[in-house]
Amino acid sequence: MPYEFPVDHSALIDERSGQFLSFGLAPQDLDGTRAAIDSMWADAPGGWVHEWSRLAAKYAAQGDHALASMVYGIAKFPVLANESRRLALRRQVDEYVKAAAGFGVRFERRMLTLPYRNAAVELPVHLFSADEKYSGAPVLLLSGGVDGWKMDMHPLAVGFAQNAGVTVLAFDQPGTGESPVPLDEFGDEVIDGLIAAARALGNGKVGHLGVSFGGNFAVRSGLTGAVDAAINIGAPVATAFEVANLERLLYGMADIVGNAVGFDAPATQEKLMAATRVFDRRDLLLRENNAPMLVINGADDVHVPLDDTLIFEGRADTEVHVIPDAGHCAVTKLPELMPMMVDWLRSRLVAA
């Protein structure tokens, strides 16, 4: 079962405020809610989920379902460790669906049945397209990481659907959101099932874009050649899973990952390293048959070592961009980076 853990809510807001603002939150609402919060986990006035949900409910009552959904997304952050956060996720989904008419693209919420450990699981996914003529376009798989999930990736989903000539299939990576499976050694099976579903849905060409930990799965897809193009934004790949990096993780990230892998209480660094070692992709870097890959991260990432971005330099058909004055995943610079990413993807999936 998910678990609560010690974390400084003020430091967490400071670290994520740029992301929240970039997703459309008004500065005055950020400041007001920050001032009202005095507890990360209490389900009461002053509690994180209570105060963000109160703000989201205000937006919903005003008919601004898109902003309500985004703020319910903050309310459920960073893990679904109690019923109040699980309720915030359900409300986020409800508001998101209500907001879909204003997305500027066609939207569909669909349930996929995917093979998993000699059985099957049901995974809710979101489809974004210019015209719902799925069979005529490539499909881009899109996920965030352990604490930024498919609806939190909304600007990317809409941006690629509008401009890149692709259908976007957004999903929650294993261990997060609405995913029914943990973040463990079997998670790659879910990704393989999604790739197969994407090939059947579209014109046969598939790309994979992963942000943060989601980028780790996109790295696997790209390095193995399982997809036709892969974009990795801020992925932990190799050095990130060593003890030295786990020891320096900030803002509760070790426990966020611990929740995703299925722990029910805070774990030692050794236990966390053992659980995440399967995601060290160094062996795949020895291969030379990778799909075209685009690798991006901020130069000032506090979670993922710069080495995990630079390790891709010099590979065939691979572009690497380290963004100055930007943190984890260069999230505050993503609006500026979108045209470059769209052009790169179009040249690999649409024009090819």
Give the sheet arrangement for strand 119-129, strand by strand. Answer: 106-116, 119-129, 167-170, 139-143, 206-211, 229-233, 293-298, 318-323
Higher per-residue pLDDT: 12 or 216: 216
Same domain, 68 and 139: no
Domain count along the chain: 2
Q: Residue 165: its pLDDT value, please?
A: 97
Residue 176 lies in a domain: yes
Least confidently predicted of 245-249, 301-305, 334-338: 245-249
Do residues 273 and 210 both lie within one domain? yes
Per residue in 10-36, is it b (16+ CB within 10 Å) or e — as a string?
eebbebbbebbeebebeeebbeebeeb
Beta strands in 177-281 (DSSP E): 206-211, 229-233
Would you say residue 75 lies in a domain? yes
Query: 246 falls in which pLDDT band (50, 70, 90)?
Result: confident
16: domain range? 9-100
The answer on pLDDT for 19 being more than 80 is no
From 100, 123, 140, give the residue that closes a domain. 100
Q: Which of 123, 96, 243, 100 is nearest to 178 (CA)?
A: 123
- pLDDT in the model for residue 250: 81
In a domain, 215, yes or no: yes
Q: Say yes or no to pLDDT of 121 above 80.
A: yes
Q: What is the CATH number of the domain that holds 343?
A: 3.40.50.1820
- Three-class secondary structure of residue 198 per DSSP: helix
Q: Looking at the structure, do residues 110 and 95 belong to the same domain, yes or no?
A: no
What local confidence, expressed as pLDDT, does residue 46 receive? 97
Q: What is the pLDDT of residue 15?
A: 82
d(CA 249, CA 275) in angstroms, rounded, equals: 16
63 shares a domain with 206? no
Q: Is the pLDDT of residue 22 over 80?
A: no
Span between the terminal Cα atoms of the chain, in Å: 46
pLDDT score recorded for residue 352: 64
Is residue 228 included in any domain, yes or no?
Answer: yes
Is 340 among the domain residues?
Answer: yes
Mean pLDDT, to the nearest integer, of 201-219?
98
User: With contact defined as beta carbons under 8 Å apart, do 147 and 80 qualify?
Assistant: no
Domain contains 4: no
Question: How confident is the model at residue 203, as a pLDDT?
Answer: 97
Q: What pLDDT, in 10s, does the model give residues 302-336? A: 999 999 999 999 999 999 999 999 999 998 899 99
State pLDDT tens for residues 258-286.
999 999 999 888 899 999 999 999 999 99
Are both 117 and 81 inside the same structural domain? no
pLDDT for 181-205, tens place per residue?
999 999 999 999 999 999 999 999 9
Mean pLDDT across the chain: 95
Q: Model confidence over 51-100: pLDDT tens digits?
A: 999 999 999 999 999 999 999 999 999 999 999 999 999 999 999 999 99
Verify that 167 and 67 share a domain, yes or no: no
Q: Are residues 115 and 35 in the same domain?
A: no
Residue 22 φ/ψ, nearest 5 degrees? -65, -25
User: Would the pLDDT of 247 be above 90?
Assistant: no
- Per-residue pLDDT, 131: 94
Please check whether residues 116 and 31 belong to one and the same domain: no
- The verdict on 96 and 109 lying in the same domain is no
What is the CB neighbour count within 10 angstroms for residue 2? 17
CATH number at residue 28: 1.20.1440.110
Same domain flag for 170 and 54: no
Query: In terms of domains, do 240 and 294 share one?
Result: yes
Q: Could you tell me if 211 and 232 lie in one domain?
A: yes
